[in-house]
Amino acid sequence: MDFLMNPLNLMTFFPLVGVAIILLIPRERKDAIRWTAVITSLVSFFVSLQMLMAFHAQNPGFQMVYDKVWMKTGGFEIHYALGVDGLSILLVLLTTLLTPISIFSAWTAIEDRVKEFAIAFLVMEVGMLGVFLALDLFTFFVFWEFSLVPMYFIIGIWGGPRRTYSAIKFMLYTMVGSVLMLVAILWLGLSQGTFSLPELLAKGSVPAHLQTWLFWAFALAFAIKVPMWPLHSWLPDAHVEAPTAGSVILAGVLLKMGTYGFLRFNLSLFPEASVRFAVPIAVLAIIGIIYGAMVAYAQKDFKKLVAYTSVSHLGFVMLGLFALNARGIAGGILQMINHGISTGALFLIVGIIYERTHTRDLSAFGGLWKIMPIYGAFSIIVALSSMGLPGMNGFIGEFTILMGAFESPVLGPAFAISAALGIVLAAVYILVMLQKVFLGPVKEKNLSLKDLNWREITVMAVLTVFIFWIGLHPAPFFNLMMPAVEKMAGGLQAAVLAMH
């Protein structure tokens, strides 16, 4: 009972209650299964709001910590430890928000094996929340690896024609990185005598020769997940084949596990190595920004276009994090949230039209604005937010990141200017996309398309609220993370000074 009194445990494991209930519902009663899944994930969402209420934003440390010895064996202890701080709280809220949204969005899109689908999503939520909340390297790895399995099923069972290939590719790619991280975790934990993150942080920095190896072992795992150029090739396959709801979660949350990993482990545990390797990482990030944007522009498939924009946007996040100052990191975190909302919404937009026309070929559309005005309005808002139009969320994130990079002690104006080129390119692919889909003459076969139904409007409206909220009044979001970010930036600053 003590276990479930902690909001973090309750939030993380409550979806399993839904799984148990769904197992008892006969598989023909699809609506009952769907409602159970949505309500269960909404309960987790409400618990996460309760966590938000109890969260002290001024406190930079871990809060609501639950820490128990999991296994104490042969000279070393492994803990089950969860906790939340300013770096993770927004990602936790994003996860609990996007999970019900994506289950809700799949109401009519998924008709086959609804039971398994609902179970996969709820199990997925457990894994994702665990990753963001884990305060012990072992606990973290368990959730990290565990979260692969439901996504594998989501892509592989409900995906497009090349689903089995994409599912296994997704899994093997991620695993290559993560098993090397496991060796690094063992190495770090055994050399420092603990696997607990707060204890590792309190111990101070890891010896320099070890830092280099460990930094790259962790970085490889996270860079594959982000994905950073040139490790991104699993992403277009996974995204294009995944069902809409799967793409929303994949882009919205799973990719953030990579950037969050950099933030939580690389930057905080290996500050000297982070300073030393900030430039190469930032260069890869810039390449990702520009490459992603250019490849997105060249796509004829609506969904592939959105998939490549992720490579570009997450390049911005990485650039912000490796600016190694408070502004860059804060911008990076906010941009993770922005990307989750905007790209999640973009995938929903693709999904909505795909469900109606069964095609994603950009040339098959045109003039949809006239046929589906509500759909058109939401699409334009979302597309412009993804492009970074002032007044919307994307602008705040990208602007903060560019400022951070500009002022950065390790990067500098050249990086900010090259990244700004990415914003220009984003305008190109977004506007071309809008033009192809919404302007121009209407195709005859599209004349009878129905506009959004109440479910779709609800989902899009929720996301749109956040687009404008973050765009017009970002202060509450920054306030939540700032103390923790400043603490981390302080540590990095010290490392910079020590290096020069």
Partner 1 sequence: MTFSDFTTLLPETVLVVWASVLLLLDAFILKARKGWTALLAAAGLAVALGFALAQGSGLGSAFGGMVVSDGFATFMEALAAASGVVGILLAYDYLKRLEIARGEYYILLLFSVAGAMLMAKAADLMVMFLALELLSIPLYVLSAFARKREDGEEAALKYFLLGAFAAAFLVYGIAMTYGATGSTTIAAIAAAVSAGSANMLLLALGGGLLLVGLGFKIAAVPFHMWTPDVYQGAPSSVTGFMAVSAKVGGMAALLRVLVLAFPQLGGQLTPIVWAIALLTMLVGNLAALAQKNIKRMLAYSSIAHVGYMLVAVVAFADAKLAPAAVAAVLFYLLAYAVTNFGAWAVVIALERAEGKGLEIADYAGLGRRHPWLALAMTVFMLSFGGFPPTVGFVGKFYLFRVAVEGGFIGLAVVGVLASVVSVYYYMRVVTTMYMKEGEPEARGDGWLNLSVGAAAIVTVVLGVVVAPAFQWALQAVLRL
- CB nearer partner 1, residue 25 or residue 149: 149
In whole angstroms, give the CA distance from residue 34 to residue 40. 10
Q: How far is the CB of 186 from partner 1 (least distance, A)?
A: 4
What are 365's two structure tokens? Answer: 């559309």
Secondary structure (3-state) at 196: strand
Q: How far is the CB of 458 from partner 1 (least distance, A)?
A: 31
Q: How far is the CB of 277 from partner 1 (least distance, A)?
A: 20
Question: How many residues comprise the chain?
Answer: 500
Q: How far is the CB of 63 from partner 1 (least distance, A)?
A: 26
- CB nearer partner 1, residue 152 or residue 265: 152
Q: How far is the CB of 141 from partner 1 (least distance, A)?
A: 7
Q: How far is the CB of 47 from partner 1 (least distance, A)?
A: 22
Q: Residue 277 corresponds to which amino acid? A: F
- CB nearer partner 1, residue 183 or residue 499: 183
Q: How far is the CB of 16 from partner 1 (least distance, A)?
A: 12
- CB nearer partner 1, residue 123 or residue 459: 123
Q: How far is the CB of 311 from partner 1 (least distance, A)?
A: 23
- CB nearer partner 1, residue 14 or residue 429: 14
Q: Residue 240 corresponds to which amino acid? A: V
DSSP string, 219-232: HHHHHHHTTPTTS-
Q: What does DSSP assign to residue 301?
A: B
Binding site for partner 1 (CB under 8 A): 70-75, 113, 116, 138, 141-143, 145-146, 148-149, 152-153, 156-157, 163-164, 167-168, 171-172, 175-176, 179-180, 182-183, 186-187, 190
Please provide residue 407's backbone torsions phi and psi, each rounded to the nearest 5 degrees.
Answer: -85, -5
Q: Bridge partners of 80?
A: 68
- CB nearer partner 1, residue 14 or residue 369: 14
What are 404's two structure tokens? Answer: 């951070």
Q: Who contacts 441 (Cβ-Cβ below 8 Å, separation ≥6)? A: 366, 367
- CB nearer partner 1, residue 190 or residue 421: 190
- CB nearer partner 1, residue 149 or residue 201: 149
Query: What's the per-residue H, E or C state across 444-495?
Result: HHHCCCCCCCHHHHHHHHHHHHHHHHHHHCCHHHHHHHHHHHHHHHHHHHHH
User: Across 198-254, where does the E strand assignment appear?
Assistant: none
In whole angstroms, give the CA distance from residue 327 to residue 336. 14
What are 261's two structure tokens? Answer: 């990993």
Residue with tokens 């949230």: 337
